[in-house]
Structure 1
């Protein structure tokens, strides 16, 4: 009996110490001041494009108006994870058998100017095979596939967003690295298949000490021991291809860096840091997109909104709606529409499958912000 009592006490102590360690490493976080204002697009201007029983990841729209989306890995999907919305229903893309063989945990996707759909797959936070895939939308065939090495996509990495330069060659990938806490930017040359991991754990890519608060819940878990404070997340390429714009989710500042510097392999991280420019204050954000005038559209994950940052850093609230549970990925489509994936993460992250299904369906919306962007971006 005494031995059993000692064992129980030991287990409790280990649990308390583990919880304390989690709180020290992942906990904390202050409330973030709201930057959202009155939207210029009325509630009626926010249209529902599609509904799906499983949580949406990201969305990409082609110049012809084809709509593609991923199922969010946090939703514990059991079927196809990359889909196309056709004739009012979601169809596996590419075909179901190839979809399953090709992809593990895809999330970010974008259509480049050559009508190729690029998809980034974290390989279950780097535990599997992180990879990038490109599919030619004119033939629906895979035209590029590359598995990243452990050096550039280590265990605990989370490759979750990407953008393609106007030439269709250089690919920029955000490693949020939530569990590893070492976010970085990957620069992938699709012609040479060489990858650089840069700005790793730099102040611009690391999260700050903020707690994300939504009307549904604060993004804290395990009794408050773990606060969701992601690092580098959204990225966008300006229409000239000269600048890469990026922001960490739990960070107050948007940055940009010349793409010519990212392409220069002679530059060290300290050299690249010298070329960073702060654009302005931003909300706690997820996806980004740029229009043809150089404005950057920023999702506000706390307030169900999308804001626009002008080249000078000024913010305008474009849309805000109680229907938006978590403003995630953005993609410009034809005719001036900006598409928004709502991943509803407050009702998805670390939730059981039954809870996730119960709070469906999940949606992609669209609205017209009054400017035009490159389709897919």
Structure 2
């Protein structure tokens, strides 16, 4: 009996030390976030100018829409992989209802942890699947929206789609040749801008470790909660997230969620695989301060629309590098991805990250439904 008591005593001592050690490790690697300044102001749009477009029972991930004005408007969205969807993962809104795309039977075969979606000028729907943070295939797919058939598939090699990576959002060049992807790399702590050439089927990482893709230690604070987990040991400190091409394709705009700046880099230097990474880094330009953000989209007038995850809205940076609040709406719980459609609307995915990340299924059901909103660009 005495030996047994001694065993349990040392067992609990070792267990306690192990738990304390893990918490310290998590705190040092993922914690210590600070709050960011409030850049938001009085919104230019009224609440009536932001329409509730669609609601769904599961947390929405990202949204994409057809931009070709000669075609019918089509809107797609993913079920956020952080919500651990059990069946469908990519949906199209048809006659006001969510329909699995390209079919219900294809969901498990094609998708694992699909999140980012984008419709290019060639009317192909692109999806990026982070493959369980790089432990499985990090995969890019494209579907021809005329036939709804899979027309392109690429699995990123391990040196690009690294273990502990998180390929989150994507955009496609106006000519349809180049795909740029944001690797948030929350767990790996190695965020990067990734470029893929669809003709040569080559890819590479750009700007690894560059200040423009890294967080600056800012943790988002929403009306629902501060994005802090595991008894304060882990903060949502997020690097490069949203990105988009300028409409002429000359620049790629991007920003880290947990960073203070909007950046851009010339497309030409990024797609030249003979350029050194140092040359790419030297070409980065900081455009303006921004709020803590998720999705980014540009318009024809050269404005950059940035979601403001802390203040439930949209922030705009003009071609003159001036910023202002366009939308601030209490209905929006986490302004996530944006898509500009051929019907003249921006579509906004509200993923409600605070009520799905590391939450139980019952908690997510309690906070359902989840929404997609839409609004007109300022030029209209």
Aligned match of 1:163 in 145, 157, 171? 171
Tell me if 1:103 matches 2:107.
no
**1:334 CA displacement:** 2.4
Q: Secondary structure at the match of 1:211?
A: coil
Tell me if 1:203 matches 2:211.
yes
How big is each residue's C-alpha offset from its partner over 1:263-296, in whole Å with a ceiling of 9 and x where there is no partner?
1222222211110111000100000000011110
How big is each residue's C-alpha offset from its partner over 1:192-245, in whole Å with a ceiling of 9 and x where there is no partner?
110011111211111111121000000000011000011010101001100000
Q: Secondary structure at the match of 1:94?
A: coil
Tell me how far apart the structure 2 counterparts of residues 216 and 320 of structure 1 sit (CA, whole Å).
Answer: 15
- The equivalent of 1:187 in structure 2 is 195
Tell me if 1:305 matches 2:310.
no
* Contact 2:117/2:127 (<8 A) preserved: yes
- The equivalent of 1:375 in structure 2 is none
- The equivalent of 2:282 in structure 1 is 274
How many residue pairs match? The answer is: 372
Unaligned runs of 5+ in 1: 373-377
- The equivalent of 1:79 in structure 2 is 87
Tell me how far apart the structure 2 counterparts of residues 298 and 200 of structure 1 sit (CA, whole Å).
Answer: 23
Aligned match of 1:53 in 54, 57, 67? 57
- The equivalent of 1:6 in structure 2 is 10
* Contact 1:41/1:369 (<8 A) preserved: no
For residues 1-377 of structure 1, what are the structure 2 equivalents within 5 Å?
Answer: 1-63=5-67, 64-371=72-379
* Contact 1:336/1:371 (<8 A) preserved: no
* Contact 2:345/2:376 (<8 A) preserved: yes
* Contact 1:318/1:369 (<8 A) preserved: no
Q: Secondary structure at the match of 1:19?
A: helix
* Contact 1:36/1:305 (<8 A) preserved: no
Q: Secondary structure at the match of 2:343?
A: helix
* Contact 1:61/1:331 (<8 A) preserved: yes
Tell me how far apart the structure 1 counterparts of residues 38 and 233 of structure 2 sit (CA, whole Å).
Answer: 24
**1:65 CA displacement:** 1.3
Q: What TM-score results when the alignment is normalised by the length of structure 2?
A: 0.96
Tell me how far apart the structure 2 counterparts of residues 335 and 370 of structure 1 sit (CA, whole Å).
Answer: 14
What is the RMSD of the two structures over their aligned residues, measured on CA atoms? 0.9
Unaligned runs of 5+ in 2: none
Tell me how far apart the structure 2 counterparts of residues 191 and 268 of structure 1 sit (CA, whole Å).
Answer: 21
Q: What TM-score results when the alignment is normalised by the length of structure 1?
A: 0.97
Tell me how far apart the structure 2 counterparts of residues 313 and 188 of structure 1 sit (CA, whole Å).
Answer: 29
Tell me how far apart the structure 2 counterparts of residues 355 and 174 of structure 1 sit (CA, whole Å).
Answer: 29
**1:369 CA displacement:** 2.8
Tell me how far apart the structure 2 counterparts of residues 334 and 370 of structure 1 sit (CA, whole Å).
Answer: 15
